[in-house]
A and B are shown apart, each in its own frame.
Chain A
Amino acid sequence: MQDNDLEYLTIALPKGKLFSLSADLLKKVGYDAENLSEKSRKLVITNEEKKIRFIITKTADVPTYVECGAADIGVIGKDVLLESEKDVYELLDLGFGACHLMMAVPTDRKRAKLSDYAHTRVATKFPHIAEEFFTRQGMQMEYVKLNGSIELGPIVGLSESIVDIVETGTTLKENRLEEIARIMDLTARLIANRVSFQLKFDRIETLVRDLKKIL
């Protein structure tokens, strides 16, 4: 793979729930490739005719690939993008993958006010975003960084609360947790490398304009 090839546009797509949504959307504007599937064993899938390359990566790595220029553009959830604090262009709100980030606490141990949780422990996958939120509320917290099953935190006594992503709220209910603060709404974003946005500007601009038409 010639990584400095100006002819190709390299697109990083995340595995998981955003994959098929992104692939479908890009297909509508003519960006597809044969055998483009999350389960593909090939990590790089190329459409020679249209000069497009897809890289399929772990969700949290998409901003890294794009920031370093290994991919020109990528699709990623706003949550992961914010948490990664990477220097990339955020070009478009793609509208799908809608969910929100919130703070939840065990229903049976709910305290009266948000500020009653100051200086307690909060389990989260997103310590940076969480810290920004609590700082704005004038609260200092202790952050316990977890990589999955965040709801487990309060159940096993690891933390007093959680900050996590919620789509429907079912998982919260099942674990007897209750949302007490909505932090932000999240959707998938189209991001671009800062140099690619210069050197491959015409292609990226066309893609953005085409996507805007169908969003």
Chain B
Amino acid sequence: MDNIVLKIPYGTRDFLPDEAKEKRFIENKIADLFAKWGYKEVVTPTMEYLDTLMFGANRSDESRLVKFVAKDNRTLALRHEMTTPIARLAAMRFKDSHLPLKLSYISSVYRNAEIQKGRQCEFYQAGVELIGFQSAAADAEVIALAVYGILAAGVKNFKVSIGRVDFVKGIMEQYRILPDIVEKLQQVMEGRNLVEYEKIIDALEISAEGKATLKEIPYLKGDCEVLDRARNMALNEQSRYAIERLVEVYSLLETYGVGEYVSFDLGILRDMNYYTGIVFEAYTAGLGFPLCGGGRYDRLLSDFGRPLPAIGFAIGIERILLAKEREGNLEKNKTTGVYVAYAEGKLKEAIMMANDFRLGGKIVSLALQAETEEQAKLYGDENGFDEVVYLK
């Protein structure tokens, strides 16, 4: 029996008591915050029909889904994110409700992914979706909530970058770049391949100024000054609108008191294909991946038959855990409370005492058999109880 090692599936993990406690702490803080902002929690199935999850996704995303076959021979997949299931829910189940819909979730999601720090096949996300409004007020509320969410979870040092996917589209349009080239440019940008991006631009037959502008896009990062630079580049309505909207949202974010966390990135990229307007990501030093990501998706719900604008975000719980560990501010995750132990014949007395303690709000662990005072002390110390009560 000694040599048996039972493995768990690739990309999954166990949370031992201290880790699970930390995870629960973070989730509780975030859940409380979402509730305070008027977002109502929903729970959707872990698995959905593959077709449902593929609405608004890239075809290449399909290989990242964990799939299996249902009894009726249709393909099922584990949800790879929560936005699509909630869009389905909103379109199907809230047909006659007044807008906006403010929904939240804390769920596990699943992807066939390469294992890295903070990147698992099963991982946990907390997020919100705000459905029904397209305004700057909606954009700002959701971004502000993301900032407060990360703060509530206990991460102190981070930055949120915001941009708009329609800015890039507008710029491409103003130089009349052909659709297949636009697609190519987007593809290499998504692959973060700026070498190839510049090569494609060099081969275009447009003005030198146009080439310089396009090449500048990935480098449009920083504070408000970037918006001025971007405004000078924006010559058509679409790209100008994108900039003006960012200015408007930023001024609201300052009112929310989160301006110091926000900067701009007009070349920002997001994994999901369904984003239409503002997009954002939160970063912390030393963690190679974003803590949180989100954006506006105004077409996904119409794919489900209910044309409504929407915006949302998801915070990665494991990434918050990693970030807090790096910052050295994990909660005191020792067990605290009272260990109640007793001598032979004192069990009933001990049960009554434990009941009283619990009623008084204390955490109590009751011994399951009579033991000596020394044994009780030893167990109490080893398991992190700050008090041991022994009934003689």
Q: Are A and B interaction partners?
A: yes
Residues of A in contact with B (beta carbons under 8 Å apart): 3-6, 67-70, 87-93, 189, 193-195, 198-199, 201-202, 205
B195 touches A93 (CB 8 A): yes
Chain B 190-233 against A: per-residue CB contact (8 Å), 1 yes, 0 no?
Answer: 01111110000000000000000000000101100000000000
Which 7 pairs across A and B sit closest by C-beta, in order of nearness?
A69-B288, A4-B286, A89-B192, A90-B193, A68-B288, A195-B283, A4-B285
The contact sample of 5 A-B pairs, CB cut-off 8 A, is: A3-B326, A4-B326, A89-B194, A90-B193, A201-B222
Residue total for B at the interface (Cβ-Cβ under 8 A): 25
Interchain CB contact under 8 A, A205 and B219:
yes
Residues of A within 8 A of B161 (CB): 198
Q: Is the CB of A3 within 8 A of B286?
A: yes
Residues of chain B touching chain A, judged by Cβ–Cβ distance below 8 Å, are 116-117, 159, 161, 191-196, 219, 221-222, 265, 281, 283-290, 326-327
CA distance A89 to B219 in the complex (A): 12
Do A194 and B288 have beta carbons less than 8 Å apart?
yes
Partner of B192, one of A70, A194, A205: A194
Q: Say yes or no: A198-B283 contact (C-beta < 8 A), given A89-B194, A93-B195.
A: yes
> Chain B interface mostly helix, strand, loop or mixed?
mixed
A87 touches B192 (CB 8 A): yes
User: Looking across the interface, which residue of chain A has its beta carbon closest to that of B265?
Assistant: A198
Known: A6-B285, A198-B283. A68 touches B117 (CB 8 A): yes
Partner of B286, one of A67, A69, A201: A69
Give Cα A93 to B199, complex, Å: 10
A195 touches B192 (CB 8 A): no
Evaluate contact between A5 and B194: CB separation under 8 angstroms.
Answer: no
CB-CB < 8 A to A199: which residues of B?
Answer: 159, 283, 285
A193–B117 Cα gap in the complex (Å)? Answer: 14
Inter-chain contact B116/A88, CB cutoff 8 Å? no
Distance A195 CA – B323 CA, assembled complex (angstroms): 13
Which of B221, B284, B286: most chain A Cβ within 10 A? B286
Tell whether A69 pairs with B194 under 8 Å between CB atoms, given A201-B222, A205-B219.
no
Q: In the assembly, what is the distance between CA of A199 and CA of B222, in Å?
A: 10
Specify which chain B residues have a CB less than 8 angstroms from the CB of A194 in the assembled complex: 192, 288-290
- Kindly state the separation between the CA atoms of A90 and B284 in the bound complex, as whole angstroms: 21
Q: What CA separation (Å) do A102 and B193 show in the bound complex?
A: 22
Residues in B neighbouring A69, C-beta threshold 8 A: 286-289
A90 to B283, CA, bound (A): 19
Residue of B nearest to A6 (CB): B285
Residues of A with C-beta under 8 A to B281: 198
Would you call A92 and B221 a contact (CB within 8 A)? no
Query: What 10 additional pairs, Cβ within 8 angstroms, besides A87-B192, A205-B221?
Result: A3-B326, A4-B286, A4-B287, A69-B287, A89-B192, A90-B196, A195-B284, A195-B287, A195-B289, A195-B290
* Nearest A-chain residue to B159, judged by Cβ: A199
- B219: A residues at CB distance < 8 A: 205
User: How distant is B285 from chain A, measured CB to nearest CB, in Å?
Assistant: 5
- Let me know if A92 and B285 touch, CB within 8 A: no
- Judging by beta carbons under 8 Å apart, are B285 and A5 in contact? yes
Residues of B within 8 A of A92 (CB): 194-195
